[in-house]
Structures are given as C-alpha cells and as structure tokens.
Chain A
C-alpha cells in the first residue's frame, strides 16, 4: 500500500544551523510524484517542490535542497542556515493514481520544525 513516513515528529534547531527533514515512501507505481509543502502557523500550505519518479537529480533552491534516492525510497529536505521564519510544519506527499484515474496525495504526518533565535 502507498505510504509516506516522516519519522521526525518535531525538530528544534538554533538559527543558522542546517537541518534535514526525512521522508520515506512506499509505492507500487513506477510513475509517481513526490512533493514537499510548508504549513506555517497561519495554516496555509505552501508548495515547495515537485519531483517525478524518473528525475533523480537533486535540486537546490536558495537555502533549500532536496535529495531524492529511489534506491532507498527517500526524498529528504535540507534547509541550510535555518532562520526563524522557517519554523513551520513540513509535509511530504506522494501522489498516487486512483481506480477512477485521478491522482490524489498521500500525506506524511508532518515534521514540526522550530528554529530558535
């Protein structure tokens, strides 16, 4: 069965530290998509990245970077030089195709990141 595991429930770091958020997934599909979203205290979900299963290149966007490893079914997210504004809950998600042909997300349970000044 499709599943997304974010084993880290909560992480606290001091500002300027690097932090990695883990995401491990399970799927039977050969074609799938992985996502990361940020949910700040205000509640809205902010899209960060999408990765398809055929693209294993790592990606960097400013202080954010993602490491996709199909061999270990992991899609980890690293924030470099963390800032207080990075404090939020981060969700990893896997898209799966349903029997009706639509794609829906399977969300992980989220990792709450607290960056202390």
Chain B
C-alpha cells in the first residue's frame, strides 16, 4: 500500500520555538497534501490543503502566518508552527493523495507538546 512518512513523530519544546514537521510520500507522487490537527478523543480538523508549487489553501480560522505550509515537490510538504505556544500542543497529521478520486494516505502523525 501507499506509504506516507511523517517526521518527527514527537516534539517537546519551549514556548516561542518554531517547529517544522515533514510529510513525505515515499512511493507515489502526491498531487495534493493535507494537514490536519486532532485534539484528544476528537475528530480530525483540516487545517489546509496544499498542491505542489502553489500556495496552500487554509481552512477558516487557521492562521496562515502561524502555520506555514510549503509544498516544494510532489513528494514533500512541510508544516512549520511558528513561535509555538502551549495552545498549539496537539497531534498533527498529514496525508497525501495521488489524484482527486483516490484515497488520502496518512502519515503516522506528530505529537507536539509546547511547554
């Protein structure tokens, strides 16, 4: 099956730090990648949709300057949480999709803890 690698799996850092999370599709070229946030025992909340070489489309209420998304190639997207604060602590999950009618394949997630 399709493999999506997300790194790091866990980050613990101090308030004010910027944190970069990488999402790679290892065995296919992803036309679209997605970033989600999941609170404990809750569903996934879509943060943004990104297509290679173009600006990400953010969902309503998600701060673009806070959550920087770069989709440099068909196999790599990054999410940078800038100047992170404790309220940014969460489980962040990426997904990659070959084409619009294909399933999204998810990374293993990144558990971010801001002290």
Residues of A in contact with B (beta carbons under 8 Å apart): 33, 35, 37, 42-47, 50, 52, 91, 97-98, 100, 102-105, 107-110, 112
B15 within 8 A of A: no
- Give the interface size bracket for B toward A: 20 to 34
Among A35, A46, A102, A110, the most chain B Cβ lie within 10 Å of the Cβ of A102
Which residues of A have CB within 8 Å of B16? none
Q: Please list 11 pairs of residues, one from A and one from B, whose beta carbons are closer than 8 Å in the complex, sorted by A's number.
A: A44-B106, A44-B108, A45-B106, A47-B1, A50-B103, A91-B44, A97-B100, A102-B32, A107-B44, A109-B42, A112-B41
Q: How far is the CB of B40 from chain A (nearest CB, A)?
A: 11
A-B contact count, CB below 8 Å?
56
Contact (Cβ within 8 A) A104 B109? no
In the bound assembly, the distance between CA atoms of A104 and B60 in angstroms comes to: 14
Q: Taking A103-B101, A104-B46 as given, write out 15 further A-B residue pairs in contact, using a Cβ cutoff of 8 Å, ordered by the A residue number.
A: A35-B103, A43-B91, A44-B107, A45-B93, A45-B106, A46-B106, A47-B1, A47-B106, A91-B44, A102-B57, A103-B97, A103-B100, A104-B34, A105-B34, A112-B41
Contact (Cβ within 8 A) A102 B100? yes
